[in-house]
Amino acid sequence: MKKKIIGTLKRPRLYVFKSNKHIYAQLIDDHNNKILTSSSSISKDIKNNINNYANCETAKIIGKNIAIKLKEKGINQIIFDRGNKIYHGKIKALAEATRNEGINF
C-alpha cells in the first residue's frame, strides 16, 4: 500500500505522469484542488522543440520548462510525486533538469 503524497501551501506537489508517447508534469495545489501550472510534450511551446516522442531529452526540456514556470510564480520549494513509477530514466531526467534550474525538493 502506497502512502499518498500531499503538497502544502508553501510546497505544492509536482506530479509527473508518463505514457508510452508523452510526458506530463503538473504543479498541483492540494489545499485548493487546483492545477497551478503544467508542462508536457504535447504543449505548443515544447512540441516545436522536440523531434520525436518521449525520451530523456524531452524529459529534460519539460523539467527545465516547468522550473521556469515555477520561478515565475515565485515557487522554489516543491514536493516531487512520481506516481507509481520508479525514479529512473525519464522521471530522473525530468527531476534533475528541474533541480538544475534551482527548484528544491
Domain boundaries, the chain: 13-100
Farthest CA pair distance, the chain: 40
What mean pLDDT is reported for the chain?
A: 92
Given this structure, which CATH class describes domain 13-100?
alpha beta
Cβ–Cβ < 8 Å for 100, 71: no
Cβ–Cβ < 8 Å for 28, 93: no
pLDDT surpasses 80 at 56: yes
- Distance separating alpha carbons of residues 15 and 17, to the nearest angstrom: 7
- Distance separating alpha carbons of residues 41 and 24, to the nearest angstrom: 7
Give the pLDDT confidence score for residue 2 in this predicted structure.
66
Label residue 94 by pLDDT band (50, 70, 90): very high
Q: Collapse the DSSP code of 77 into the 3-class scheme (helix H, G, I; strand E, B; otherwise coil) and give the result.
A: strand
Give the pLDDT confidence score for residue 1 in this predicted structure.
57
pTM score of the predicted model: 0.92
Closest CA to 94 of 71, 72, 67: 67
Label residue 18 by pLDDT band (50, 70, 90): very high
Cβ–Cβ < 8 Å for 69, 37: yes
- Distance separating alpha carbons of residues 98 and 105, to the nearest angstrom: 9
